[in-house]
Structure formats: C-alpha cells, structure tokens
C-alpha cells in the first residue's frame, strides 16, 4: 500500500516521502480541489517535525501550480488547521504531519470540502500524483495567523474555568505553547512537561497512548497534587488522560465521560469505534443515548458523526470529536474535561470507579502463512451463529463479550482484539480464536 493509507498519507522521510513527492501530492490535491471548487481556497499547515518546512513548501508550490489560493498557516497543531478552514471559509485543508508517528516520518492529512476523506479519495490523489494529470493555473499563497483566533475562540467559549491544576505533557509537539497558554487564560494552573516545540521529540515519543512514554508525567501528577494529566500527540488532535492519582484513564472511559456529560442535556447519537469495550455502548444506552458503532480510523469516526448528526464521537486512540467543533481537538477535549469536573465537583478517579470493570486485550498481531482474508472468513464461519459486523474485518458479538479479527493491508498478518466478562473467559476466547486461525493457516501471536 505504500505511503497512501486509508485515511491519510504517511511514510519515512526521505525514503518514502520526499519533496518531489510532496510537490506531486500538492498538485494532485490542488487538482481535486479546483475541480470541486473553481478558484479553491486552501488552508495549509504543518507540524513541528524537522522535515516539515521543506515538505510544506513543496506542498504549497504544488497547490499554487494547480491554481489554488493558499493560506499558509505556518507550523501549527492539526486542530488549528481544522479551525482555520472554518474561520477562513476555505474549501480545503492540508496538514503536513505524521501525527503520533516517530520523528523520522511525515505525511499529509487533507480534506476537500467539509467531509473527511474516504479511502477512495486517498486512492484518487495517488492516481493523479502518479499519472501526472494535474490541473494548471495561476494560484498564489499568503501567510496568515490562525493560532491567535483559535486561542481567542477557546477562551471565549470556556471563559473562566474552575481553578484546577493540570499537568500538560505536550511531548514537544504542536500543543507545546498553545495548551498552557489557553489553559492559563481560562484560569487553570499548569505544570508543563515537554512543552518546548522540538520536532526531534527529545522528551518522549509523540505517541501518548503507549503509557510507558508517560512515566515521568504521571509521577509529576502525584508529586504536584494535580487534578489530572493531559498528554498530547505530535500534532495535537489526540489526548490521553490520567487522574489525580496518576492512573491512566482508558480511552473508553474518557469517551464515556464526555458522552454522559452531553446526554445530561438530551438524548442523541454517540459514535464509538468497534474496538471499544461493550461497556461504552451499554452505559450510553442506560443514559438514554443511542450508541453507533463505526470502524476504527479518525476519518471514518468523524464522517459517521457528521453524517448521523451525533453529539460526540470517541476513538480508543484518543481522538474525541465534538459537534461544536465538527472534529477532533485534544485541547478542546481537555477544556471540556475541566468544565465537566467543575460542574460535578468530583475528581476524575471518582467517575472512573463508577464504570463497570471490563477486560479487553490490546491489539494482537498474528502472522499468517496464507491469505489474511481467508483466515478472517474462517473466524466468521466459526461464529456464524452470532451477530457479525463487517465494517473492518469480522466482529462477532458474544453473550459476554466480542471477538474482532481484521486483515492487515500492509503485511501477511491479522490483528485480533477480544473482550470478555472475566480474565479467565478472555484467556479462553483468545485460545479459541488462535485455534481457528491456526487451522485456517495462521500462527501464534507475534506480540501486540
């Protein structure tokens, strides 16, 4: 599949993605934008990686050569780029970023129009970039500030929040200066960690979902007596929380926290990804909401939220989407967390204790000798008497949990994830699934 993924474009710099390719991708995105919106206005930003400035420059040139009017936002967080598309009434948004991936990678997130991309959109950009069938025009570029208006908007929205102490671990990414600034302007006390923007990510990996990357951050939470931790990924659209005791809050629980908060004011749909615990859907129903399951992937989750008019959406990678913003924003989610905790007067750990216990495996990658799709179908056959969802792979709903097996699109492997009512049942189901996979041509787990 190369650098063109289901929801974005991503690869190692300069081995997989270089300036020449960035120019072609910019021209391809510009071609699509000009076809959909003649004279298209495009907002363009980039994250803090060392390779971003030259890649973004090439991307800008490609957009301009296609006839687009480019509004260059500079080095910014992805949520700022999304905001700028609305603020500037732009027709498209392009962000040079590899999100949570290591420092030696880079990529492109983009959208033409208001809806997130689908795999077919990414495939079309690849086709045009490879064929060279570009639009030609006399576009131009101008530099604008979107960070100031973005910060002002958040401060106006949230005003003076309860004076909580928040440890902010920005991982030297794009929220390094923005998050502490906005939180302080809203009345919070901020303890900063890795809040100097540095595209080498010297403080930690830009992926906060790997809890081992946040050992120092949770230690500081305990030492400082903070109310909670907010840790962001490289481009700032994801956030991971830990409570006042330094205990990590599972993304399902954080998603449920936000869902129950909005359901206090009325019923509606809540979108969640198919890898989430069943607890999330069950508790949403109890609160009068309608849980809507969608395949994993930020673009898929966001699209479903917008199409269905859902109140919010949550993905277990730490993306939280809100109707108010129309997308995912780690800082906005942090402010909503403070707002809700202040309203209830409770600590985050108190909410966590109210959530029923659940037992879910991590993603388990299993090498496959044969065709991964055939192996996945063997799982579907094994659970044919159960409700099956086929959004991405096969998800079998059981009486006391579920089994999800998905084929890899990049290697001969499948990814397995299982939930059960007890650790013993979880181990039993895992062994059961492994037997099915082995008989169908699979092998034992290579780790998660």
Task: Show which residues are catalytic.
Answer: 10, 99, 319
Element (H, E) at 169: strand 165-169
Q: Which of 238, 225, 40 is nearest to 140 (CA)?
A: 40
Provide the CA 140 distance to its chain's centre, in angstroms.
Answer: 31
Q: Examine residue 14 and say whether the peptide bond preceding it is cis (omega within 30 degrees of 0).
A: yes
CA distances from 211 to 7, 215, 316 (A): 25, 7, 13
Q: Which of 359, 366, 363 is nearest to 424 (CA)?
A: 359
Strands 105-112 and 312-314: unpaired
Q: Where are the beta strands (DSSP E) in 283-355?
A: 290-294, 312-314, 320-322, 327-328
CB atoms within 10 A of CB 279: 18
Residues 318/239, Cβ–Cβ less than 8 Å = yes
Burial of residue 277, with CB atoms counted within 10 A of its CB: 0-12 exposed, 13-18 middle, 19 or more buried? buried
Residues 142/133, Cβ–Cβ less than 8 Å = no
- Which residues, in sequence order, are bridge partners of residue 327? 322
DSSP-derived letter for residue 238 is B
Burial of residue 409, with CB atoms counted within 10 A of its CB: 0-12 exposed, 13-18 middle, 19 or more buried? exposed
- Tell me the two tokens of residue 39: 């004279």
- Tell me the two tokens of residue 92: 């498209």
């Amino acid at each position: 599949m190369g650098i063109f993924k289901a929801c974005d474009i991503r690869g190692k710099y300069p081995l997989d993605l270089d300036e020449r390719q960035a120019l072609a991708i910019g021209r391809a995105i510009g071609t699509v934008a000009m076809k959909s919106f003649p004279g298209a206005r495009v907002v363009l930003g980039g994250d803090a990686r060392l390779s971003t400035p030259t890649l973004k420059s090439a991307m800008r040139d490609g957009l301009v050569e296609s006839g687009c009017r480019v509004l260059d936002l500079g080095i910014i967080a992805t949520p700022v780029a999304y905001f700028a598309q609305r603020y500037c009434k732009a027709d498209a948004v392009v962000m040079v970023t590899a999100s949570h991936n290591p420092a030696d990678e880079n990529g492109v997130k983009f959208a033409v129009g208001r809806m997130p991309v689908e795999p077919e959109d990414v495939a079309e950009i690849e086709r045009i970039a490879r064929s060279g069938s570009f639009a030609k025009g006399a576009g131009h570029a101008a530099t604008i500030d979107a960070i100031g208006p973005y910060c002002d908007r958040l401060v106006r929205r949230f005003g003076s929040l309860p004076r909580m102490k928040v440890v902010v671990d920005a991982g030297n990414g794009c929220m390094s200066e923005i998050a502490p600034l906005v939180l302080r302007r809203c009345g919070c006390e901020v303890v900063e960690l890795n809040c100097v923007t540095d595209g080498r990510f010297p403080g930690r990996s830009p992926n906060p979902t790997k809890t081992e990357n946040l050992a120092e951050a949770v230690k500081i939470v305990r030492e400082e007596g903070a109310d909670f931790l907010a840790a962001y990924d490289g481009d700032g659209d994801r956030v991971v929380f830990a409570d006042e005791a330094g205990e990590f809050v599972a993304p399902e629980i954080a998603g449920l926290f936000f869902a129950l908060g909005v359901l206090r004011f009325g019923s509606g749909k809540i979108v969640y990804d198919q890898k989430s615990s069943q607890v999330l859907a069950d508790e949403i129903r109890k609160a009068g909401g309608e849980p809507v399951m969608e395949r994993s992937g930020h673009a898929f989750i966001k699209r479903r939220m917008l199409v269905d008019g859902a109140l919010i959406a949550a993905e277990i990678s730490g993306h939280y989407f809100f109707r108010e913003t129309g997308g995912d924003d780690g800082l906005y989610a942090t402010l909503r967390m403070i707002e809700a905790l202040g309203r209830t007067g409770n600590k985050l750990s108190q909410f966590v204790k109210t959530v029923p216990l659940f037992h879910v495996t991590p993603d388990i990658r299993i090498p496959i000798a044969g065709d991964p799709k055939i192996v996945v179908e063997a799982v579907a056959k094994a659970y044919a008497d159960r409700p099956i969802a086929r959004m991405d792979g096969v998800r079998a709903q059981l009486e006391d949990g579920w089994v999800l097996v998905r084929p890899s699109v990049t290697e001969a492997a499948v990814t397995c994830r299982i939930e059960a009512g007890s650790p013993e049942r979880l181990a039993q189901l895992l062994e059961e699934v492994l037997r099915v996979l082995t008989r169908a041509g699979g092998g034992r787990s290579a780790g998660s």
